[in-house]
Amino acid sequence: MDADNFNETLFTKLTESELFKTYQSAFRCATGLPLRLVGPDTSVTDLLCLSDENSASFCEKINLCKSACAACIEVNERLMKEAGINGPTTCHCFTGMASTAIPIRNGPALIGFLRTGQVFHKLPDAKRFDSVAKALTRQGLKSKEIEKLRATYNQTRIVEPERYNSMVTLLVTFGQQLNRHVEKLALISEGSEPAAVAKAREFIDSALADPLPLSLVARHAGLSESHFCRVFKESTGLTLTDYVNRRRIEWAKKELLKPEVRISEIAFQIGYQSLSQFNRSFARFTGSSPTHFRREQLETVGTVQGNRNPSPKSRSNRPARPAMRN
């Protein structure tokens, strides 16, 4: 397999990984912002035409019109290029919205970008939309079409610079974790993971809610218990017990974002025999109790939603700190 195909395979595995899916769901829920992982060779035209959870309605409507998104294409091309060279980058498009790209790498090879944004840092005034309207007119939109866009433009989320920068910091930290995960995926793809371990992990994922004693997992891997313990620890860096518990806690984090589900129900759903056992395991891997984690995540969601349309007096006048501007 050549380098390009190998990196494409890594990208696909990364987007399908439980690590990325879990964080993507949590980030979207906690911040109200979109989050995608896009390939380095994805054309900007195709990128802009893709719908995403929490995307700004204004952007989606603009990008349905090929003649209207030339300015979007230009700024996104610059954003991706700048991030690929200098690392995490935030820019503002011609509408005044902020967007961010964070590169994901396997060593020096660029695997993809984490993308978020499509928010204002302060409430735009009428003059700002007039400027946007002029730009859209030059790109071929009719007056009636532009007026229909005014409402969606004014409904775009508002996230103050300090809060947005904090969200980006979370993404940068997650990006670093993804970089390490890509390295592990690369080793597995190159054949360094024994087939027995691959079989074991596949079986664990398929039966995560059931009891998973060492004897059962080793039998599915086709190894003796002692041999399996050694090979599994060498390959994953974890004992079987720690690996299973970590996978269950990753599952639990997603379930805890559903406020209508009781924590005790989640504990039994994901394979724990008692609530106290679940609480101990959750605290060990996250440093927090399930109750505290849920409350913190749901409060964050409420805070973000409450700040989407702040009053003029509560908005910060501090300018954003983008790495580049259009």
When pLDDT is cut at 50, 70 and 90, the band that residue 251 belongs to is: very high
The one-character DSSP state at 158 is: B
How large is the average pLDDT for residues 183-195?
70
Q: Which domains does the chain have, with CATH numbers?
A: 3-180 (3.30.450), 193-304 (1.10.10.60)
Please identify which residue in the block is written with the tokens 């969200």. 167
Sequence-ordered strand ranges (E) for the chain: 36-38, 89-92, 98-106, 109-119, 324-325
The CA distance from 56 to 69, in Å, is 14
Please report, for residues 52, 58, 63, 72, 180, the alpha-carbon distance to residue 49 in angstroms, rounded to integers and kept in the order given. Answer: 10, 12, 6, 11, 30
The CA distance from 150 to 152, in Å, is 6
When pLDDT is cut at 50, 70 and 90, the band that residue 183 belongs to is: confident
Closest CA relative to residue 174, chosen from 324, 283, 31: 31
Query: Would you state the pLDDT for residue 304?
Result: 45
pLDDT in tens, 87-144: 999 999 888 999 999 999 877 789 999 999 999 999 888 888 888 888 888 877 788 8
Query: Would you state the pLDDT for residue 319?
Result: 38
- Local structure of 17: helix, strand or coil: coil
The CA distance from 235 to 197, in Å, is 7
How large is the average pLDDT for residues 249-260?
91
pTM listed for this prediction: 0.58
- 117: Cβ contacts below 8 Å, ≥ 6 apart: 33, 34, 90, 97, 98, 99, 100
How large is the average pLDDT for residues 53-57?
84
pLDDT in tens, 4-27: 777 888 899 899 898 999 999 999
Query: Would you state the pLDDT for residue 135?
Result: 81
Residue 112, beta-bridge partner list: 104
Query: Would you state the pLDDT for residue 121?
Result: 93
User: What DSSP letter does each residue of 92-147 carry, written as one string?
Assistant: E-TTS-EEEEEEEEETTEEEEEEEEEEEBSS---HHHHHHHHHHHHHTT--HHHHH
- Local structure of 197: helix, strand or coil: helix
- Which amino acid is present at 19? L
The one-character DSSP state at 53 is: T
Mean pLDDT across the chain, nearest whole number? 83
How large is the average pLDDT for residues 225-254?
89
Please identify which residue in the block is written with the tokens 């990196």. 7
pLDDT in tens, 267-321: 999 999 999 999 999 998 888 899 998 988 887 655 544 544 444 333 333 334 4
